[in-house]
Chains A and B, each alone.
Chain A
Amino acid sequence: MSGFQNQEISQVIDINRKKCKGCDSCKAFCPANAIDGKYGTVHRIDPQKCVFCGQCLVNCPFGAPTDIIDPVDQIIEKLKNKQLTVVAAIAPAVRVAIGEEFGMEPGSLVTEKLYGAMKEAGFKVFDINFAADQTIMEEGSELLAKIRHYALGEPAEHPLGPLPQFTSCCPAWVRYVELNYPQIIPNLSSAKSPMMMAGSLAKTYGAKEIWNVKPENMYVVGVMPCTAKKFECSRPEFDSAGTYWEKQGYTGKYPDVDSNLTTRDLARLFKKLDINFNMVYDYQDSDNPLAQYSGAGTIFANTGGVMEAALRTAYFIITGTELDNLNFTPVRGLQGIKEADVTMTDKVTGKTVTLKVAVAHGIKENAVPLIEQVIAGTSPYHFIEVMNCPGGCVNGGGQPINAMGTSWVDKWKAILPWN
């Protein structure tokens, strides 16, 4: 199989032959054209093209595509091992969806309950929202350095990539670019995704300052609304914590993030451990610095959220004042491609700069036109956010499944018989 690095897992989703009716709806949702099979015959996924986003899985009317990586039992074993500190890195989108698996209304915000259940299961919590804030600082600083250099004409301190800058939080999007448009790799932000930042921070700063344990005795589990994250954490370059400790004279090889649970997997784990999610006590975890987050970190789960969070910080850094209205509505909502302009006056030089941004969700319909613009050199934007799943991570491939499918944004074409 080509297109994979060493030790990367090569398949996350497989279609159950017995359940597939050949109805073609998965093809309508697949962003990567990775599904083969004629109408009416059993379909199969080509792992070399698949970006592991799981959109086929959450939208198949027959439940045929399955997540074939099941780490639940393995993680329960790790939780029983008292030598280990098992850290759960919880993504923002999980707190509004896990309740659905226990009979709550969709969209119920259950952060404290989730922390409580995690504590009962024996996890330490690292809220990915903290890492999302950190992503804004890293990715935002990178963007501002480019703006200062290209738009305000200041000399660059580091070698800079070209504009527009694309976000790099979405592992399915990153894999899509690596597979199909390698020429725009320099445009991707070099910042890791929040989960991978959380992994390397947990095993360095977290091990040393927060939990006081040896990094080799830590087991970091990403809790994600996403199936592509299972692939991401197996990428061999994500071992920065190990490299960091090696430079300090310690030895030991370990990945930054050891394993990954989807929202559905986490619900199964709670059920296996007999934790009644509806009955657990709320837990704030207010003494844990790594569970403190801002509102900007939490909106990463929605399409437009990364952009909105970045604008709040970019505006402050350039102008020196906070935005009056923090709700930046042009980038919210389910429109396929959203655009916005923000004019700011640089506090240092007094020059004005207009930041042009775009937000796309759904790669096939909405991101590809933006990529084509970049390749043709006609892209007017400075910063482009891309999330693979329609609606963003809240509708990720690892979220609870609704039998009717959840991604029907502008998908009328998919159900018309003449298409």
Chain B
Amino acid sequence: MASYDYVEKAIKVSRREFLQVVGVAGAVLWTGAYVATDLVQDRTKYIKLRAKGIYQDDVKAKVRQSHNNVALNKMYQTFAQKPLSPLSEELFHTRYVDRTKLG
């Protein structure tokens, strides 16, 4: 039986080295997590930014209610009379189909 004369080499890590390694590993993980959450948050960014643009357009509009749109009221006066008038019903309203019954 062979006899081993092997002594495991002691790992000498000083407190300073340990902190360095942990620090680097921590930084790598932290950056990864940060980038990942950032990318996920980005996914709704488009909706929010576009919605913000639309509300900007609302705030800067001179008139902010549909019934105060002068050009629209003029259209009703000279053409369609009023909402739900027979002509409005004919041009601006529609019907729907039950598609489960269509062949």
Contact = CB atoms under 8 A, between A and B. Distances in A.
Interface in A112-163: 130, 132-134, 136-138, 140-142, 145, 158
Contacts of A301: 50-51, 54
Contacts of B49: 96, 105-107
Contacts of A5: 97, 102
B103 to A, nearest CB: 6
29 contacts: A2-B103, A92-B57, A106-B45, A107-B49, A107-B52, A134-B72, A137-B83, A138-B92, A185-B96, A190-B95, A192-B94, A237-B95, A290-B71, A294-B64, A294-B69, A295-B59, A295-B61, A295-B63, A299-B54, A299-B57, A301-B54, A302-B54, A316-B65, A316-B67, A391-B50, A395-B50, A402-B43, A404-B42, A407-B47
Nearest to A174: B96
B22 interface: no
Interface stretch (B1-9, B13-21, B27-35, B73-81): B73-81
Contacts of B37: none
B102 A2 contact: yes
Interface of A: 2-5, 92-93, 95-97, 105-109, 111, 130, 132-134, 136-138, 140-142, 145, 158, 168, 174-175, 177-179, 182, 185, 188, 190-192, 196-197, 200-201, 204-205, 209, 237-238, 240-241, 243-244, 289-290, 292-299, 301-302, 305, 309, 312-313, 316-317, 322, 326, 332, 334, 390-392, 394-395, 399, 402, 404-409
Contacts of B94: 168, 190-192, 196, 237-238
A186 B76 CA distance: 26
Contact of B93 (A175, A191, A313, A405): A191
In the A-B complex, the 7 residue pairs with the smallest Cβ-Cβ separation, listed nearest first, are: A107-B49, A96-B53, A391-B47, A295-B58, A295-B61, A295-B64, A408-B43
Nearest to A411: B43
A292 B44 contact: no
Contacts of B63: 294-295
A326 B91 CA distance: 30
Nearest to A396: B50
B10 to A, nearest CB: 43
A204 B91 contact: yes
Contact of B65 (A93, A111, A182, A326): A326
B66 to A, nearest CB: 4
B55 A299 contact: yes
A246 to B, nearest CB: 12
Interface of B: 39-40, 42-61, 63-72, 74-76, 78-80, 83-84, 88, 90-103
A399 B53 CA distance: 15
Contacts of A132: 66
Given A136-B66, A209-B79, A178 B99 contact: yes
Contact of B67 (A137, A392, A404): A137
Contacts of B102: 2-5
A93 B50 CA distance: 8
A297 B66 contact: yes
B83 A141 contact: yes
Contacts of A197: 91-92
Nearest to B68: A294
B43 A406 contact: yes
B61 A391 contact: no
A299 B75 contact: no
A133 B79 contact: no
Contact of A405 (B43, B50, B78): B43
Contacts of A96: 49-50, 53-54, 57
